[in-house]
Structure 1
Amino acid sequence: MLYKLNLEHILFLDIETVPQKQHFTELDEDVQALWEQKTQYQRKDEFTPEEFYDRAGIWAEFGKIVCISVGYFAPKGDQRNFRVTSFYGEEIKILKDFKQLLADHFSQAKHLLCAHNGKEFDFPYIARRMVINGINLPYKLDLFGKKPWEVPHLDTMELWKFGDYKHFTSLKLLALVLGIPSPKEDMDGSMVKDVFYIENDLDRIVTYCELDVVTTAQVFLKMRNEELLADDEIKKV
């Protein structure tokens, strides 16, 4: 099935998220209490709610999106061309700009969204933050009433599971075992909060997010047994 998909019809994406506030103490008491309840199972007795707050960006109810990076194939003649771009800054503008991209270029039935662990994280997170921000869902994220085979989403982690429901593989590990050259990243996901709130270095986060988009596309190509993208085939726009 993967071999039949037209690469030009796929939008590869990745998101970076942070807690809505830098510090737990900045939340009002009701939100603090709800955070405590929400994370009780994950924290157990090892962490207090405040100590666990660094991970708040994982939940759409307590986090926000600071970057959405996308990549898509736009060949020029016989040469492959993978274009990468990002939306970043204020969350509501990020979401509206991303929605506009879908409306302008990826709104047809043939178009698909692809992310690593996208079905469990990226796609629902974007949808939830759109609802929270009062933005009508684009067709590609509005799954109500759709049958499983009608959902326009691809997930490289799900593809790698091959039906194994309990198997989680990070994008970094998958790239390693598939022989995909690892980009020289100077950060990982656990550092995004501090890079955003303490270092105020959004450009660094954008670069990290875009590298993950490229790696996701490389994994997809590898799973189709196709040649990986060369550096000169990747264009930032």
Structure 2
Amino acid sequence: MSLDRNERQLFWGIPVIVVAGALGWVLWRATADLDDIESRQLAWGTIGTLLGQHVVLTLICAAVVLVIGVPLGIALTRPGIRRVTPAVLAVANAGQSAPVIGLIVLLAMAMGFGTPTAVVALSIYAFLPVLANTITGLQGVDPALVEAGRGMGISSMGVLLRIELPLASKVILAGIRTALVLLVGTASFATFINAGGLGALIQTGIALFRFRILISGAVIVALLALLVEWLGQVMEMIVAPKGL
């Protein structure tokens, strides 16, 4: 894969920051003089468990958002259905404009505590970028190219798969990347309804006035978000047709 100067800076810059930050935190954790509470909360096994819960929750929510958001976005650009697009986008905007912690609490009261409720709440919150970018990307495809494909005898599905989606892929991937970063950050609130994740460190740090636990949780979440941002941008470079 040939990269220009800006792409090379992106390819190496963010990973260097993430690795440096992670090594810095690991070095601090290995040498810090922690009390009993801090030692238990920042134990390597505990950190690994919480990180695993956080990543799994993020991936589940991302899968839900992709499975629903991309096909729905495609459907809303098809003739006969596109007239309801503004109404659907308005509902999606309402879902994201609500504070995520409020959405999680309200759904927890209706559905109960636990991971399923967190998945629903976080998926609603991260749904808009994928839906909106799918619609925007497909609407931005030159109609002349679509007509040319149909003129060559390509079916509607063939035009979608061979022309529209490839040309819209960069915009769609940008929406997916935005949703993933949102999910990594907002998954921290899942701990308030017993869904696990790195938010447990932040919650414990606040509740017990242990700022080293609080900051550790925030740093790990931030590094994970940066890593996801980088992976998303690299995927855009790989998947998007050259010249777009």
- Normalised by the length of structure 2, the TM-score is 0.30
Max Rg structure: 2
Q: Which structure shows the higher helix fraction?
A: 2
- Normalised by the length of structure 1, the TM-score is 0.31
